Amino acid sequence: MTRPNIVIVMADQLAPQFTGAYGHPTARTPHLNALAARGMRFDAAYCNAPLCAPSRFAFMTGQLISRIAAYDNASELRASVPTFAHYMRMLGYRTCLSGKMHFVGPDQKHGFQDRVTTDIYPSDFAWTPDWEAADERIDKWYHNMATVKESGIAEATYQIDYDDEVGFAARRWLMDRARDRAQGNDTPFLMVASFIHPHDPYVARPEWWNLYSDSEIDMPATTLALEDQDPFSRRVMDGIEASTVALTEEEVRRARHGYLANVSYFDAKIGELVRTLEETRSLDNTIVIVTADHGDMLGERGLWYKMTFFEHSARVPLVIAGPGIAQGTVKNACSLVDLLPTLIEMGGGSPDMAAEPIDGRSLMPLARGGADPTDEAIGEYCAEMTPAPVFMIRRGVLKYIHCDVDPPQLYDLARDPAELNNVATDPAYAEVAKAFAEEVAGRWDSAKLRADVIATQKSRRALHAAMEAGAGEHWDYNPPSDASQQYVRNHMDWTVAAARYRYPPVEEA
């Protein structure tokens, strides 16, 4: 049996609630909708850490962030930790990353054979938090309300430039694989195309902004007064200045307008990649996966961006379509760590390939339309705006959130999908709350984890200061390019080059 190609299309900060595929009445996402209609839509998929780099490192390694010390956006992903790119290379796949993965450290490929763009964010230790001064803002890189207030229309931004480059490079790479196939090379491939949109700032080009009228923009369903916020949410609001900087209704509407516009922009990138697969006669043998690193609160509960375990922040879209994938929806809770074992199974591998403990399970039984007794997602947050680790267990319809310095939170999502009623002290939930508390105490040593986080923060801040003073070279990735081997050059036969570049090739008489 021919092994499938795999294309993973990743968004940044895309909450599934703001897509048509997941039921938003206004969001224009025809390409994601089409994939969901012919494939499997996972309705309770979560990130394992609601922040970019930690989430992506869990996604790449199949391991929780506490296991690999991937605590925040300046944590190094060690070169010694295997990723799914390593395993897929071992299975004979050609692998490629186009776009963002927020790798921190000198290894900027982590098993990808090809990396065709640079990253969009720093690859060093610049964004290291300080838990010993957890209530102090780091103005240089903390989120604030400026990105909400500045929402609107622009012809160009650094994010638009970046995603246009990512999309072009990904399509070119897919075309090159078709050219290889025309030359007799049938090596299966795995490509990750990872875009920055719809991540804030909420600024969109006119053609995407104009898809929506102001009257179509739904406002946050839930707003809470500052005094009604739980302690962790209050810390996040203080950190992003939402507790001190007031927003008008018009500013909130414009931000949500820009976000929806950029959701449609990202959806168009999905469409471009699917079209390229069609043009290269690859779609019928390619599994397409669409997901994101985390969501965006977008004003719900008075919160913005991510960094919490509420549904708009912690849930992610997960749609899988292609050969061997059934049509339907999955209600089981799952998370991004499940994708590594899923990919290994797609590629014909087995779980015993794993060189390190894997915290996820393969989702292929569910993707094929079968059953899975596991209905669970685990989350950890060890980054800015908290002085101690925050843990989440989503099991069945229940979600439990724990932080040593805060009261516990327990939500029954079947009865309370908006998470407005914390039942952690409700007598009717006393036994289950007690069981969750005991599970947290047994699963994590929170005090030790906190000490480990602080120790790495100190080391990284010192190393960053040394690098700023000139110690060592920067780690930002420079994609290799050799113009002497491109297009037509003097050492080439131009007819051979033309035949190589043309796809489909001219058929011989």
∠ CA(55), CA(58), CA(63), 5° rounding? 150
Q: Report the alpha-carbon distance of residue 43 to residue 50 in Å, rounded.
A: 17
DSSP string, 125-181: STT---GGGTTS--TTTS--THHHHT-EE-S--HHHHHHHHHHHHHHHHHHHHHHHH
**193 phi, psi to nearest 5 deg:** -110, 110
Closest C-alpha to 407, from 240, 236, 233: 233
Q: Do 198 and 266 form a contact (C-beta atoms < 8 A)?
A: yes
CB atoms within 10 A of CB 133: 10
Q: In Å, how far are 55, 65, 119, 229 from 447, measured between CA atoms?
A: 22, 16, 34, 25
Give me 395's structure tokens. Answer: 């099991």
| Six-digit token string for 55 | 């989430």
Taking the C-alpha atoms of residue 498 and residue 296, their distance in angstroms, rounded to an integer, is: 47
3-state secondary structure of 58: helix
Q: Which helix (H) or strand (E) holds 327?
A: none
Return the closest-CA partner of residue 287 out of 274, 305, 268: 274
- DSSP H helical segments within 390-509, as ranges? 430-443, 446-468, 494-501
Q: In what order do the strands lie in the sheet with 376-381?
A: 376-381, 390-395, 398-403, 409-412
- 374: how many CB neighbours lie within 10 A of its CB? 15
**Which of 11, 31, 28, 29 lies closest to 283 in space, CA to CA?**
31
| Phi, psi values for residue 310, rounded to 5° | -70, 160
Active site residues: 52, 102
Q: How many Å apart are CA 349 and CA 182, to the nearest integer?
A: 27
CA-wise closest residue to 13 among 143, 199, 166: 199
